[in-house]
Every structure is written in structure tokens, then in C-alpha cells.
């Protein structure tokens, strides 16, 4: 018997909820997400540096963004977007399996708002830069058209 107020999700014969998986939401059919190694290859190729140097550069950028957000400051990358942190207070919730009440701890959430230039580039590209990385041409076109 299910506790009152707890809703069960539909499941398929394989035991999974119907619809798209979390990793598939927001992606074009047939596209694969770009991983860190592919970004490092792209950086190395575009900036004439070794993969090791590109990896250090990418790690330094990511560490800088993380440490800035950790102290609560926003990170603004003009044309690309803005990372911000918001505080969410503690709240009451329920365990979906047994309906037992519990307190969900206060936490910080990271938000990203895409910049105008990034939105323009994404909307102009028919296929993302997964295969040939034609970003530079698209960026130059978008900048010149503004």
C-alpha cells in the first residue's frame, strides 16, 4: 500500500520511467555531449599549444570559476554568459519511498545565464561544433553582424 500524498511514477517493462533520460534532455537527436578531453583537443588545435598545456589552461579556468563561485561572487564572461550562486533555505519535504517527513538542508545553487552572443551563435549554427569545431567563423560572423 502506498502512503497518502506520495505519487508513483509510471514505469516501463524495463523498470525505467518513460520519456527521455536525464542525459538526453535538451540534446538534438543523435548528438553526443562534448567531454573534457574533446575540449582540450579543441583548445590545443585552435591555440597551437600541446594537449598538456591546453589541459592546464582549461583546468586553471575551471578552478578559477569554481573558487570565485565558492565565495559567492558571480563570474561574468562577456558575450558568453554569467555564472551566479543563490542561497536556498532549508525546507520541509517527504521521502518519496515511505512518505516520512524530513528537512531538506539549506544549500547554494549555481545558475548560468547565457549571454547574447552565445545565444546568437547557438541559434545560427545548424549543427554544434562537435565534429569540425567551426566556432571561430561563426563567432566572427555573429560579432560582425551586430
**CA 130/CA 38 separation, integer angstroms:** 9
Q: What is the pLDDT of residues 135-146, one digit of tens each?
A: 555 555 554 555
**CA 9/CA 2 separation, integer angstroms:** 12
Cβ atoms of residues 116 and 79 within 8 Å: yes
Residue 16 confidence (pLDDT): 46
Mean pLDDT, residues 81-86? 96
33 secondary structure, DSSP code:
-
The pTM (predicted TM-score) of the whole model is 0.60
Mean pLDDT, residues 57-82? 96
Distance of CA 90 to the CA centre of its chain: 25
Cβ atoms of residues 90 and 104 within 8 Å: yes
Residue 31 confidence (pLDDT): 72
Residue 11 confidence (pLDDT): 46
107 SS3 class = strand
Pairwise pLDDT comparison (35 vs 132), residue with the higher score: 35
140 SS3 class = helix
Burial of 121 (0-12, 13-18, 19+ CB in 10 A): buried
User: Mean pLDDT of all residues in the chain?
Assistant: 78
Q: Which residues pair with 101 in a beta bridge?
A: 94
Q: What is the pLDDT of residues 23-42, one digit of tens each?
A: 445 555 557 888 999 999 99
Residue 2 confidence (pLDDT): 46
Q: Is the pLDDT of residue 81 over 50?
A: yes
Residue 39 confidence (pLDDT): 93
60 SS3 class = helix
The DSSP H or E segment spanning 81 is strand 81-88
Amino acid at each position: 500500500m502506498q502512503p497518502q500524498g506520495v505519487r508513483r511514477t509510471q514505469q516501463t517493462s524495463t523498470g525505467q520511467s518513460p520519456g527521455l533520460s536525464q542525459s538526453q534532455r535538451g540534446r538534438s537527436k543523435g548528438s553526443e555531449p562534448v567531454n573534457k578531453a574533446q575540449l582540450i583537443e579543441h583548445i590545443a588545435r585552435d591555440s597551437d599549444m600541446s594537449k598538456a598545456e591546453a589541459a592546464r589552461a582549461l583546468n586553471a579556468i575551471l578552478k578559477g570559476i569554481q573558487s570565485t563561485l565558492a565565495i559567492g561572487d558571480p563570474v561574468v564572461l562577456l558575450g558568453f554568459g554569467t555564472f551566479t550562486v543563490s542561497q536556498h533555505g532549508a525546507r520541509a519535504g517527504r521521502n518519496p519511498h515511505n512518505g516520512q517527513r524530513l528537512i531538506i538542508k539549506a544549500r547554494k545553487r549555481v545558475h548560468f545565464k547565457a549571454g547574447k552572443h552565445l545565444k546568437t551563435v547557438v541559434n545560427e549554427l545548424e549543427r554544434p561544433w562537435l565534429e569540425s569545431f567551426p566556432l571561430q567563423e561563426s563567432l566572427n560572423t555573429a560579432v560582425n553582424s551586430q
